[in-house]
Amino acid sequence: MSSPPGVEKRKATAPISPPPTKRSLQSGTTSKGALERGRNLANPKSVESAISNFFTPTSQKPKDRTSWSERKDDPDKPATLLVGKYTPETESKETQLRRKIAAFDLDSTLIDTSSGRKHAKDALDWRWWDARVPGKLKELYEDGYHVAILSNQGGITLHIDPKQKAPQKHTAKRLEEFKEKGSAVLRHLDLPVAIYAATGKDNFRKPRRGMWDEILKDMGLEAKDVDLEQSVFVGDAGGRVATVMNGAAIVKDFSCSDRNLAHNVGVPFKTPEEYFLGQAPRKWERDLDLVHYPLGSEDAPAALFEKKNEKEIVVFCGRPGAGKSTFYWTQLEPLGYARVNQDTLKTREKCLQAAKEFLDDGCSVAVDNTNADAATRKIWIDLAQSFGVPVRCVSFTTPAAVCRHNDALRSLNKSLNPEDREVLPEVAFTGFQSRYKPPQESEGFQDVTEVEFRFRGTPAEYQIWARYWL
């Protein structure tokens, strides 16, 4: 009978050692401190084994049973997902599909560095996060789970850009070291497990569900076929806040991406401390919690803006990703406003020229730019005065975290990105914040309308929006 994720069926904590012939590529940890902590399952003589193995003829060395391949998120771009599949020598011939998935982050969840450094110094610099890890994964496999490893690896590159400034030799070395370490981890487990490593910032990167979907493809399953309640994702990026335990300060998690991936695919989430050690959950929080932005009523939305003058200029003000363009298409375009937008026209001068032409033709104009400060907004106020028309302002108060979410969502979903915009650099957000001054009527506006963020799309669009993308 299946045991719930994270509940051990037996108390044994003895490490599961790999076959003697396979110990030569295990972790190179030999420090007394690491061995005393009992967290390194590698052979204490691993260094000697590695040296001995160096002089072993190739024909006598054990076969590397991990095959590596690459996959694309976009058919028009280079591959960004690295997949390493391990095939045990005595592979079982299963006829029944496994419908429970136990997926794990790699670094700081299944393994740590044996050197104590934050980042591994080479392919041998690793040890199990805890002595119980390999035994627990073996239990899961025997209990009918499909076991997989999902890891963000932004530090490695699959296809070197010839224009990059960093030495290409160093880039290639990091990739080979990751493969060597990954092969060693899988060889220790000696189970039909695959590592999925996302090297780009596309749909494969956690918390986006691209790697999870690749697991389903490899299993021959559709999402509806997975037993989500019994499945689990375990990772250290759980959004836990800083705390003090037993007199020692514990820093906050670097992100909440692992917990958010579990949310996106609909499975329970556990930290490694909860799953492997049985510790109680710590307090955690997200920078953006989508529960605060539910889908609104399906009834026709009330008009958020009305035209007051026969001809006028409406100046938008708000962060990138605040919803300005969507507001134009749903609220102002139906009222006959012409749009000028610097993302499409590229320069302010072209925006001004387009606005003048629209005004000459008798059209009202919506200025769909960020317009962060009074000096920038004054350019449009002056234009309105030169044409003798009123100028109004719409101020978007969308929180910064929602704006970043919207920007990532837009760049990764073509159906929600009609203008094919690329993801914005961080400076676009920090630059706006450094210049931002809330608009005031005293600047010369007839009125200032504030617009709070609410998701106003369709239920189908909300299913995409309500996933975590950062």
282 and 318 share one domain:
no
Tens place of pLDDT per residue across the chain (470 aa): 454 455 444 344 433 334 433 333 444 333 434 333 334 444 433 444 444 444 555 455 567 899 999 999 999 999 999 999 999 988 777 767 899 999 999 999 999 999 999 889 999 999 999 999 999 999 999 999 999 999 999 999 998 777 666 667 788 899 999 999 999 999 999 999 999 999 999 999 999 999 999 999 999 999 999 999 999 999 999 999 999 988 999 999 999 999 999 999 999 999 999 999 999 999 999 999 999 999 976 555 567 899 999 999 999 999 999 999 999 999 999 999 999 999 999 999 999 999 999 999 999 999 999 999 999 999 999 999 999 999 999 999 999 999 999 999 999 998 888 888 889 999 999 999 999 999 999 999 999 999 999 998 889 999 999 999 99
231 and 96 share one domain:
yes
With respect to residue 31, please indicate whether it lies within any of the assigned structural domains. no
pLDDT at position 126:
97
With respect to residue 9, please indicate whether it lies within any of the assigned structural domains. no
268 and 122 share one domain:
yes
pLDDT at position 93:
73
pLDDT at position 302:
66
265 and 194 share one domain:
yes
CATH of the domain at 193: 3.40.50.1000
With respect to residue 51, please indicate whether it lies within any of the assigned structural domains. no
With respect to residue 74, please indicate whether it lies within any of the assigned structural domains. yes
With respect to residue 216, please indicate whether it lies within any of the assigned structural domains. yes
Here the tokens at position 45 are: 């003589």
The parent domain of residue 368 ranges over: 313-466
With respect to residue 184, please indicate whether it lies within any of the assigned structural domains. yes
352 and 393 share one domain:
yes
180 and 230 share one domain:
yes
C-alpha–C-alpha distance, residues 4 and 300, integer Å: 44
pLDDT at position 12:
40
418 and 350 share one domain:
yes
With respect to residue 45, please indicate whether it lies within any of the assigned structural domains. no
With respect to residue 44, please indicate whether it lies within any of the assigned structural domains. no
Here the tokens at position 458 are: 């369709």
Overall domain count for the chain: 2
270 and 352 share one domain:
no
CATH of the domain at 412: 3.40.50.300
pLDDT at position 457:
86
454 and 320 share one domain:
yes
384 and 280 share one domain:
no
136 and 257 share one domain:
yes
273 and 355 share one domain:
no
